[in-house]
Structure 1
Amino acid sequence: MYQGIKNNLEQHLYQLPPRVQGHYGIRLYRMTGDEKYANAALVDLYAVTESQAFYACSLDNPGFITSEAEKAISLLGKGPRAKARKQALAPFPDFIFYTDVLLRFSSRIHEFGLRGPCNDKLLTALKKTDLKTGLTDKAMIKTWAAQLINYVYWAKQLGVGDYIKEYKQAFIEVYPNNKDSELDKKQFQNKLYGLTHFIFAASEYYQHDVDPIEFAWILDYFEANIDRILEDATDDIIAEVGISFHLAGQSDNPVVAKTQAHIVNAFDADVQFIRSPMGNSDLAQGEHRNVLAMMLLNWPQKLHKGPYFTELKATEKYMPKLVSVNK
C-alpha cells in the first residue's frame, strides 16, 4: 500500500500545484533524508518567498493589511465551517493576515534555515500586534483548533511571542475531557485535529521527536478514546493520531497498530489511493491524507531536519535571490 501511494503521487508529482508538491517533498525529505525530494521542497520555497515578498514588503502601505485580511476571509468559502470561521474572526478581522499569512510564510522559510524578504519589518509587525486575544478566543478554538496551535508554535519559533501555555489552557477550557459526550462528530474531530497538532507543531513538522511526558495528556486521551476515534474521525485525523505516537517514540503502542489497520482498510487498490470521505480520488486534494498514510505505515528510525537547501548539492545553486541564510 505504501509503495502504491508513493508511486501514484511521484508519477504525477509535476502535475500537482506548487504547494502540494512542496508539502509532499518536505515530508518525504524529513522521513528519508533523500536529496531527490529536495527540489520538490524547493518549489515550495520559491512560492512562499514570493508570497512573503509581496506581503511583508507592503506592510507600510496605507490600508494594505485591512484589504488583504478581507481578501483572506473572503477565500474561506461559503459552507457551514466557513461561516463559523468568518463569524469567529469578526471581532479581530486582521488576525488572519498576521497568522495565516505572515506567520505561515515566514515560519516555513525559517524551517529551511533561511530568512525571507523584508523579514525585520515582518517580525516587528508581528511583535506589535495582539495575537493572544485571537489565539485564546473560544469561538476561534471551536473552528480553528489545529491552525491556532500552528500559529502558537510558529510565533515562538520566530521569537515574536510565547503563547503555548495560554493556548493550552484555553483549549482545555473549550474541550474538557469530561464534556466529550456533548461534542457532535464535527466538534470531536476539531478537538482531535487540535490535539494532534500540538504534537506536530512541537516536532516542527516531523523534524525531531517530542517528549512523551510533556504530551502524555494527549497520548493518554487518544488511548482512552481510540474506539470513538476510529468510528467518528476522518482518515486524515486517524493517521495523525497514530503518527503522534511515532513522534513520541511509542510506535509499539497498540493505538498505532489500530490506526494502521484502519488506514490499510481505507486504501482503494483500484486507484492506488485513499479516497476522500465523498469518494474523490483527486491527487492534489488527497495528497495530505495519503502522505500521512505513508508516514503512519513506514515510520523511519531517524527524522531529518530541513531540508537546508544551501547545504545540498541538488539545490545549493538554485536558491531564490530574495532569501539569505539565517545566522
Structure 2
Amino acid sequence: MTAIRKIKSFACLASFSLLLTSGASFAKTGESNDHQLTHEQVRSAIQVNLEQNMYSLPPRIQGHYGLRMYRMTGDEKYSNAALIDLITITERQNFFACNVDKPNFINEQSQQAISVLGKGPRAKARKKALTPFPEFIFYSDILLRYASRTDELGFMGPCHQQMVKSVKSYDLAPALTDPAMIKAWAAQLVNYVYWAKQLNVGDYVAEYKKAFIETYPNEQDSELDKRQFRNKLYGMTHFIFAASGYYQQEVSQKEFQWILDYFDSNIERILTDATDDIIAEVGISFLLTGQRDHPVVKKTQDHITSSFNPEYQLIPSPRGNPDMVMGEHRNVLAMMLLDWPKTLHKGPYLANIKATQKYLPVQVTSKEKIKPNK
C-alpha cells in the first residue's frame, strides 16, 4: 500500500469514527438521530473498533478474525493473527494427539471436556445427548478441531499420523446421526463431518445430511420453538460454510438449493426469530453460492445494519451486551455480509508468507504441493 493510499485509508476511518462519536452522543443524550448509516459505514466502523482492540482479545479470537479477514481481502497483514492461532493450537495438538495411546487418557479428557460445557439449557442438552457417546467429544471437538485448523494453514501438526489412526478407529456415525445430538448442536456436528472429510479420516457427509433432514423435516417447522428453529438454521448455514472451507471458495448453488430455498421461503420468520449471528450467516450463504443479487442478501444486510449500536460501535448481543470477546463472531460476520469480495482467498499458507515463515512453531510440518499465495 502506498503512502497516499494509507493516508486516504486512515482519513476514511477517522471520518467514520467521528460519525460514530456523533451517533453515540445522540444515544447518550436521548436526542433523535435521523441519519441512517450505510452498509459501508457500519462495516468500516466495526472494523475500526475490532482492530483497535485486537491485542486485548484472546489468541483464538484474534485468529478467528484474522483468518476471515485474510480470506476476504488476501491482505497478508492478517497472517500474524493466524500465526498466533497456529502456535496456540500446535501446543494443544501436541498434548492431545501425542497422548492418545496413553491408558485412560481419552476417557479422562472426554470427561474433562464434557464438564466444562457449562450449566445453561443448551449445555445441559449437550451433556445429556453425549451420555451414550462420551468419547465422541474427544475425537471430534478436540482431535478433529485442532488438526483441521492446522491443515487449513498448510501444515501437519505434531503426532499427525497417530491422530489419524486414532480417529479412524472410532466410528463417528452413531453420534453424528443421533437426533438428540443434532438437536443439541447441529452446526458443530456439520463442522466435524467436514473436518473428518478434510483430513481423510472418514466421509460422513451423506449420512449426516440424511439424519439432519429427518430430524428437522420442513413440514414440522410449526412445532419448533425459537431455540430449535435457530439450531436448525445454524446447522443449515454450516453445511455451506464447511463445504466452502470456511470462506475459502464458493460452493455449488445446486448442491445446496434445498437450504437456499428454505431460507428464501422462511426469511420473515428468520428476521424475527433468529439472532444477528444467524441472520448474517443466512445472507452469507447466498453470497457463497454466487447469488449477490438475491433479495435475501439485501434483507439480511438491512437488518444487520439496523442492529448496529453507534454507542458501542458494534452489534451487541441479543440482550444488549457489547462484550467484544463474545461478540467478535457476530461482528466479523456482519463485516463479511456487508462487504463481500469479488474473490475469496485460500489459506493463509503461513510457510509461504515472509511475515510468518520465520516464526512457525517447530512442531509443525509443511504439507507438500501447497499452492503459493497470490
Query: Shared topology, TM-score over 0.5?
Result: yes
User: Which residue type is aligned with residue 128 of structure 1?
Assistant: S
The 1-side partners of 2:252 and 2:165 are apart by 31
Matched, 1:2 2:33: no
TM-score by length of 2: 0.87
- CA shift, 1:91, in A, is 0.3
Fraction of identical pairs, as percent: 65
- CA shift, 1:48, in A, is 0.7
- CA shift, 1:60, in A, is 1.1
User: Which residue type is aligned with residue 126 of structure 2?
Assistant: R
Off by >2 Å, runs of 4+ in structure 1: none
SS at match of 1:260: helix
1:183 corresponds to: 224
1:167 aligned to which of 194, 200, 208? 208
Matched, 1:47 2:74: no
The 2-side partners of 1:45 and 1:149 are apart by 22
Q: Deviations over 1:135-172 (max 9, x none)?
A: 10110000110000000000000000000000000000
Q: Deviations over 1:104-131 (max 9, x none)?
A: 0000000111100000000000001010
Q: Deviations over 1:52-93 (max 9, x none)?
A: 000000111111100000010011011111111000000010
- CA shift, 1:271, in A, is 1.0
2:187 aligned to which of 146, 153, 159? 146
Q: 5+ unaligned residues in a row in structure 1: which ranges?
A: none
Aligned residue pairs: how many?
A: 327
The 2-side partners of 1:35 and 1:258 are apart by 32
Alignment map for 1:1-327 (pairs within 5 Å): 1-327=42-368
TM-score by length of 1: 0.99
The 2-side partners of 1:112 and 1:77 are apart by 30
- CA shift, 1:13, in A, is 0.4
The 1-side partners of 2:340 and 2:59 are apart by 25
The 2-side partners of 1:86 and 1:297 are apart by 36
Q: Deviations over 1:11-46 (max 9, x none)?
A: 010100000000000000000000000001111101
2:7 corresponds to: none
The 2-side partners of 1:304 and 1:318 are apart by 22
The 1-side partners of 2:272 and 2:135 are apart by 37
The 2-side partners of 1:183 and 1:166 are apart by 23
